[in-house]
Structure formats: structure tokens, C-alpha cells
Chain A
Amino acid sequence: MAVINDLKVFKDSAWLGWQMEANWTDPFLFMTYSMVKPIAGTLILVLMYIVVTGGETANAYFSYMYVGNAMYMFVAEVLFGVTWVIHDDREHYMTLKQVYIAPMNFYVYILGRSAIKIAITSFGVFITLVFGVMALGVGINLAEVDWLLFSASLIVGLISICILGLALGGISFLTAKHSIGINEGLAGVFYVLSGVVFPITILPTWAQSISRVLPVTYWMEAMRRGLEPAAMRELTSTAGFDVTGMSGVSDMTMMVYLLASVLVFFILSIGVFRFTDYIARKKGKVDWTTAY
């Protein structure tokens, strides 16, 4: 019974999320909006690359960087989506207290609202990858894609990030409107330390040690191996050494690590969320507004 109720909450909150995300404009404008943002973000890196190299984009490092950046959208947008629910409901629509006291699972409500963000981001990632392959020669060959590795790592990684987002959502209870910076900041940590747009071997040794603990590092590597296996092989063979710093880690090890991280993040995020929720109620911050 509880599961059926949770599924209903999930469906309704996902529908609410979709209405809030999309019904402010017509579908065409919304689709354009959903494409412009990710492509512009990617073009920043493309231009940085072109400034240095002079424009040769059909090589392994460019593909590595491009695919990593496209996939990173999931990290940034999902973390943003989850924490934004708290901020938007509390400070903008001022409905958080009503939602909070409603007879439903609050986690499920947040996850439902975030699910729609994942769907929109998936569209952005898809468009970015298509643009990269068609216009910039990014090395994705559909016949070579390891679909099992790619889809399994994508799903497990997304679950892991959603759960981490719940912890951040809890922290958002306690912060002023700067909370928008939490998700972007934490996403930034992953951006640097997880080998998103450059191999982790360029980092100082101490930072590499942190990189090897972060699940996003394994997530990015697994998705790249699945999506662009040839480019990953070429990158290592061109450099002549283990340039990604991950060659010694097998696909299976990565998947086990990702699954373990889901479990750890789950325990961690429940703990953080409960603690911050308790503090927020104690300090009267559930219906707090900080619109200065």
C-alpha cells in the first residue's frame, strides 16, 4: 500500500515538476531553450580548445573532453534540480510548509520533482552529443558502442547523484538563498576532481588520491569506455602511458564501485537529510524566506 502511495506521489510530483519547468512558454521555445544552454556551455570548451590547438577537433583528447563535458550535465543539472526544489518551494512559491505537512513521503516528492529535470537534461545531453558528432567530429561510432556498459553505468550513476542531491537538498533547508551555490559548487568539485574534461593525471598527486575515491570519476570513465571505446584506446596509445590514470581498473570493478557508492550515499544522505531537517524545524527555517 505504501509503495503504491509512493508511486502516486512520485508520478504527481513529476507532473508538477514538468508543469513548472515547461508550461511558462510554448513547446517550441522550451525546446530551443533546452538546447541553447547545454550547447553554449559546451562551446566554451570547444573555443578554449580551438584557441590552443588552432581548430583540429577530430582527435581522441577532443572526444574525451567533449563527451565528458556532455555527460557532466547530468551531475550539474541533477544536483541543481534536487536542491532547487527546496529553494523554489520555500522561497518562491512559499508552499514548502504545506508540502512538508502533507501525508506523503517527502523524499519521494523531491525525487519525483527531480525526475523531470533528468528527462530534460537527457534531451540536452543527446542534442549536445549529436551536435558534437555531426559538426565537430567527436569519435562516437554507434557500431562500436558498448551499450551494456554505457546504459548500466548511466543508470547507476544517476541514482547515485540523485541520492547525493537529497543530502544537498537537506542542507538547503539551513542556508539562505545562496543555496543555489551549493549544487554548483559541489558539481564544480566533481568537475575538477573526476576527470570530466581532462585526465586526472594532470592533477597534483594528493588530488589524484581524492579523484580515485569519488564515484563520479568511475562513472565518467565507465560512460566514456561504453560510448567511445576507440577514442579511449587511442588516447592512451598516443600518450604512451596510462594518461587517464584508470586503465588498470576493469569495467566490472568500476560497476561494483558505483553500486557500492549508491549504498554509501544512500546511508549518508538519509543521515544528513534527517539531521538538517531536525535543525531546520528547531530553528524555524522550513518556511524561511531570504529575499534580500
Chain B
Amino acid sequence: MTESYIARNLRAVRGRAYPRLIGSTREPSWFIFDVILPLFTIAGYAYVYKFMDARAELVGYVVLGGAMTAFWLNILWSMASQLYWEKEIGNLPLYLMAPISRMSILAGMAVGGLFETTIQAAITLAIGAIAFNVVFSLASPLLLIVVFVVTMIALYGMGMMFASLYLLLGREAYHLSALMMEPVYFASGFYFPVKHLGFWAAAGASVIPITLGLDALRQMIFPGAIEDAFLSLNTEIALLCGLCVIFIVLSRYALRYMENLGKKTGRLTLRWQ
């Protein structure tokens, strides 16, 4: 009996997500390295604000921003770089030969990565909030979930698109990911309100979904954050919805284009360039 195309792709999603989910339980050291130790960097930024006797919200922004860095790092190192990495270790040809949509592989990576990273970010947020007495004011939990989900879909859509673009890169892939760490932390306002960059710079940075997502989340959970907001909450949600569609569509086209280009140039199985 042949299974339907949809069922086969859902199995592919599950199959690709599985190693990420099970990997974290088999290798629990990630909890120390990815959850506990990064708290120190967050604490560093929080103490800078404390030393300058800054408003309490700013310390809260640091804790939230620090928790959200987990998602950006996951996008860079476990989504964008992943197809390149699969090529390097020899899995990519197997994916391409399998009778499934390539998007299922990317979706599986996203689901597995998102699960692990959400736990990581939640623990970071909780410990950071306790350590620095951050007060959250949650008026609309449902809307908060909506904003978070929309941000994640847009963000992981961007990661899927990057994965396709990275496919043809050699060692540049690693350097590109490394280059998109601190500059994005800066441009997206992970540790300060992004509106202080100025309107046009903040608008440019809004192409990265986490910029608007962070700003929207701050508006919803910190009482004084409205004055720090870049755009209104509704505008940011609408823009994030738009980014979701754009990145998912673009990732599909980019994947197809890069795969064809890779086949023509013979680079899909080329390793250690």
C-alpha cells in the first residue's frame, strides 16, 4: 500500500525533527553550555544598566533579549548552516534522492530546533527574571502566544531561506553565520529599544523578524515599554504576518533554484571547499 504524499512528508518532518529532539536528551551537557553559561553574558549587560542606575524595564529588555538570542543562534547555526553541514557530512544527496519535498526536511529541522530552543529560552528567561527581579505584566496571554508564534514562523522561514542560500557556499557559510551574530544583536536591539537606532535604521533591521518580534513582546510584557516602542503593536503583528508569508515563499523558491544551480555546477556533493 502506498502512503499519500502528505503522509510521507509528515513522516519526513518527524524523521528530521527526531534526531534533534532525542539528541538533546542523549547529550544533556547542552543544558550547562546553552542555558546556564549564557546567563552570565545576560547578567553582564544587566549589570551595566544597574551600574548606570537605568530604568527597571531596560534590565527586563536585556533578560528577554538574552533569552531570544537562543532562537537567533539556532537559526544561524542549526538552520541556515544545516544544509551546508549536511553536504559536508554526506547526508545531502540522500535528502535530495528521497521521494519527499525538500521543504519537509527544512520544516523538520525547524520543528526539532524550535522545541529545544524554546525550552532553552524559557529557562533562561525564568532564571534571568528571578536573578534580576524582572517584573512582567501580562495583560493578554493569548495575544502574546500569537506574537511569539508569528515571530517564530517568520524567523524560521528566514532560516529555511538562508539554508537554501547557504547551500552553495563553501566555508563562507561559517563566516557568514559568525558575521551575523553581534551585528544582528546590535541592529535588532536585543539589549536596548531598537527605536534608538533611528527610524530608518530600525526599519531596515525589521527585515529580520526578531526585531519586530522582540519589540512587540516587550510592549506586551513590560508596563513602561510603550514609550520605547518602535511601531504600534498591531502594525508590528501585521508586518510579522507579512514576513511569514514572504520568507516561506522565498525559501521554497530559493531551495528549488539553489538545488538546480547546484546540480548544474556540480557543487551539491562537493565537500571541504
Show the binding face of A for B, using Cβ within 8 Å.
20, 24-25, 33, 36-38, 40-41, 43-45, 47-53, 61, 65, 92-93, 175-176, 178-182, 184-189, 191-193, 196-199, 202-203, 289-292
Q: Which of B27, B36, B44, B178 contacts A185 (CB 8 A)?
A: B36
A181 touches B192 (CB 8 A): no
Q: Which of B39, B44, B181 contacts A197 (CB 8 A)?
A: B44
Smallest Cβ distance from A210 to chain B, in angstroms? 12
Smallest Cβ distance from B231 to chain A, in angstroms? 18
B44 touches A196 (CB 8 A): yes
Show the binding face of B for A, using Cβ within 8 Å.
19-20, 23, 27, 29-30, 32-34, 36-41, 43-45, 47-55, 58, 77, 85-86, 88-89, 170-172, 175, 178-179, 181-183, 185-187, 190-193, 196-197, 272
Smallest Cβ distance from B105 to chain A, in angstroms? 13
What is the chain B residue whose CB lies nearest that of A92? B88
What is the chain B residue whose CB lies nearest that of A46? B186
In whole angstroms, how far apart are the Cα atoms of A189 and B36 in the complex?
10
Q: In the assembled complex, which residues on chain A have CB atoms less than 8 Å from the CB atom of B54? A: 51-52
B183 touches A40 (CB 8 A): yes
In whole angstroms, how far apart are the Cα atoms of A258 and B52 in the complex?
30
Besides A41-B182, A52-B53, A179-B33, 12 other CB < 8 A contacts? A37-B179, A40-B187, A44-B185, A44-B186, A48-B58, A48-B191, A51-B196, A176-B30, A178-B34, A185-B36, A188-B38, A198-B50
Choose among B47, B170, B272 the residue with the greatest number of A CB atoms under 10 Å from its CB. Answer: B47
What is the chain B residue whose CB lies nearest that of A88? B174
In whole angstroms, how far apart are the Cα atoms of A289 and B91 in the complex?
13
In whole angstroms, how far apart are the Cα atoms of A218 and B183 in the complex?
29
Q: In the assembled complex, which residues on chain A have CB atoms less than 8 Å from the CB atom of B187? A: 40
Smallest Cβ distance from B106 to chain A, in angstroms? 15
B29 touches A176 (CB 8 A): yes
Q: In the assembled complex, which residues on chain A have CB atoms less than 8 Å from the CB atom of B192? A: 44, 47-48, 51
Q: Which of B44, B77, B86, B191 contacts A192 (CB 8 A)?
A: B44
Smallest Cβ distance from A103 to chain B, in angstroms? 24
Chosen A-B contacts, 25 in total, with CB atoms closer than 8 Å, are A24-B170, A33-B175, A37-B183, A38-B182, A40-B182, A40-B185, A40-B186, A41-B185, A44-B190, A47-B192, A48-B45, A48-B191, A49-B48, A52-B54, A175-B29, A176-B27, A178-B34, A184-B37, A184-B38, A188-B37, A188-B40, A191-B41, A197-B47, A198-B51, A199-B51
Which 8 pairs, one residue from A and one from B, show the smallest C-beta to C-beta distance?
A: A185-B37, A181-B33, A188-B40, A40-B183, A292-B19, A188-B41, A41-B182, A198-B51
